Chains A and B, each alone.
Chain A
Amino acid sequence: MVAALVLLCATTAARADDDDDLPELQRMRFVERGDQLHVTASIAKLFDRAAYEALDSGFSSTVVIRIWIYPRDSTDPVAFMLIQRQALYNLWDEVYELKFDETGGRKIVKEKRKAEALKRLTSLDDLAIAPLSSLPYEQIYLLAMEIELNPVSKETLAQVRRWLSQGTGGGLDRGGAFFGSFVSVFVNPKIAEADRVIRIRSQPFYRPKP
Chain B
Amino acid sequence: MRTGLFCVVALCGVIAQARLAIAQEPPPAAPPIQPPSDAPDTGLHDDNEFGPLILIESIEVIGNTATQTELIRRTLPLQPGDVLHAGDKRLREARFRVLALGFFRDVNLSMRKGTQRGQVILEVSVVERGTVVLNRLWFGTSNVSPYWVGADVGERNLLGLGIGVGFGFIFGAHGDVDGSRNQWATELRASDPSLLGSRWGLAAAATLVHGSEVYRVAGDPQKVAAADLRAFPYRRFGGRLTATYDVTALSRFSFGARAESIVTDLPVAPTLALSDGRTTAIDLHLEPGASRVITASFGFDRDTRPDPILPHAGGHVAVAAELGSSLLGGSYEYATLFARYEHYWPLLGGKHVLGVKLGGGVVIGGAPQFDRIHVADVDRMLTPRALGLVLSAAAPLDILGTRPDKPTYGDLGGSANVEYAFELFRGKGKNRVYGGDLFFGAGLWGLGEQADLRARDASWYNAMPIDIYADAGLRIDTDVGVFEITVANALGRLR
Q: A: which residues have CB within 8 A of B?
A: 2, 5-6, 8-9, 12-13, 15-20, 22-23, 29-34, 37-38, 57-60, 62, 64, 66, 68, 70, 72-73, 75, 77, 80, 82, 84, 86, 88, 90-93, 97, 99, 101, 108, 140, 142, 144-146, 150, 152, 154-176, 178-192, 197, 199, 201, 203-208, 210
Contacts and interface: CB of A to CB of B under 8 A. Distances in A.
A182 B28 CA distance: 47
Contacts of A210: 19
Contacts of A171: 168, 187, 189, 205-207, 240, 387-388
Contact of A88 (B86, B309, B338): B86
A157 B236 CA distance: 40
Given A16-B435, A207-B21, 5 more contacts: A60-B51, A66-B35, A144-B35, A163-B102, A172-B207
Q: How large is the interface on B (under 10, 10 to 19, 20 to 34, 35 or more residues)?
A: 35 or more
Contact of A169 (B203, B209, B314): B203
Given A16-B431, A22-B32, A146-B35, A172 B52 contact: no
A16 B425 contact: yes
Contact of A154 (B239, B306, B359): B306
Contact of B51 (A73, A90, A144, A205): A90
Interface of B: 14, 17-26, 28, 30-36, 39-45, 47, 50-52, 54, 86-87, 91-93, 96, 99-102, 105, 109-113, 117-118, 120, 129, 131, 133-136, 154, 156, 164-166, 168, 187, 189-191, 193, 203-207, 209, 236, 238-240, 242, 249-250, 258, 260, 303-309, 314, 318, 320, 338-340, 342, 349, 357, 359, 361, 370-371, 376-378, 380, 384-388, 414-415, 417, 419, 424-431, 433-436, 441, 474-485
B17 A33 contact: yes
Contacts of A12: 431, 433, 436, 476, 478
B340 A168 contact: no
Given A172-B388, A189-B105, A204-B30, A58 B110 contact: yes
B6 to A, nearest CB: 20
Given A15-B431, A57-B111, A155-B249, A68 B35 contact: yes
Given A158-B314, A186-B135, A31 B187 contact: no
A173 B189 contact: no
Contacts of A6: 485
Nearest to A73: B31
B290 to A, nearest CB: 16
A57 B123 CA distance: 11
B111 A181 contact: no
B240 A142 contact: no
Contacts of B26: 140, 204, 206
B425 A20 contact: yes
Given A84-B43, A157-B307, A199-B35, A179 B21 contact: no
A172 B209 contact: yes
B14 to A, nearest CB: 8
B318 A162 contact: no
24 contacts: A6-B485, A16-B426, A17-B427, A19-B426, A58-B112, A60-B50, A72-B31, A91-B111, A92-B117, A108-B50, A144-B34, A146-B35, A154-B41, A167-B164, A171-B189, A172-B260, A173-B207, A175-B386, A179-B378, A183-B309, A185-B482, A186-B482, A190-B479, A204-B28
A205 B22 contact: yes
A169 B482 contact: no
Counting chain B CB atoms within 10 Å of each CB, the highest count among A80, A203, A205 belongs to A205
Nearest to B336: A174
